[in-house]
Amino acid sequence: MFKKLDILDEKDKRLRLKSKKVEFPLTQEDKKLIQHIIDELTYSQIPEYAEKYDLRPGMGLAFPQLGLLKRIIVIVHEVEEGLFDNYVFINPEIISSSEEMIAAESGEGCLSVNREVEGHVKRHARVTVTGYDEKGNQIQCRAREDLALAFQHEIDHLEGILFYDRIDPKKPFYTEQEMRLI
Ligand code: CO
C-alpha cells in the first residue's frame, strides 16, 4: 500500500531556512525518499491515483518540504498524457538564465501551500541547471517554459523562498503585453 509523504505546511518555519549541500554517497534513506517522491508526484498527476491516494497534483518537491534541509529537488514532468520525465537534481545550480521572463497564467501552486494564492510569479523563460544525480555524476539540463518554472520554484525552496514571495503586492498581475503568460 502506498503511503503518503508528510509534507510541511507553509506555516512551518523550516521552510524558511537555507538547505545544506549534500555529500556523496547518498544514504539509503535519501535514495528511498527520492523514489518515494517520484512515485507520489507521478501518482498525483494521474487522476485515478490522485483520487485513490488523496493527492493534490504537483510536479515538484524539494527536500526541505519534508523537513530535511538538504539540497535535493525532484521534478516529475508530464510530457504527454501519461508519459513522465523525472528530474532528480542534487546540489542544483542555475548557471544561466534567459533575459526573457514569463509567468504561469493561472499562478503557481505548491504542495506546502494549502490555499489558493493569486498572482503572477515572474520567472526566467529558460534556465540551464547543473547538479548531480543520485550516483554523484554531474548532470545538466536546459529547461524551458513550465519545466523552467518548476526548476526555479524548487530551487527557491532550497533558499527558504516560497513562490508568493515573488508576487509583487503592488502589481500582482501582468497583462499579455507586459509579460508572456504560459
Ligand atoms: Co513548492
pLDDT tens for 138-168 read 999 999 999 999 999 999 999 999 999 999 9
Q: Tell me the three cell numbers of residue 114.
A: 494549502
User: Domain map of the chain by residue range?
Assistant: 23-174
Which residues have their alpha-adjacent CB atom under 5 A from ion ligand 1?
110
**Choices 2.40.50.140, 3.20.20.70, 3.40.50.300, 3.90.45.10: CATH for 23-174:** 3.90.45.10
Point out the catalytic residue in the list 40, 48, 118, 154: 154
Q: Is residue 134 annotated as a catalytic residue, yes or no?
A: no
- Distances from the Cα of 21 to the Cαs of 71, 81, 92, 105, 111, in angstroms? 5, 35, 9, 33, 23
pLDDT bracket for residue 73 (50, 70, 90): very high
Mean pLDDT of 74-95: 97
Q: Report the separation in Å between the CA atom of 159 and the middle of ligand 1, taken as the mean of its atom positions.
A: 12
Percent of the chain with pLDDT over 90: 99
pLDDT, mean over the chain: 97
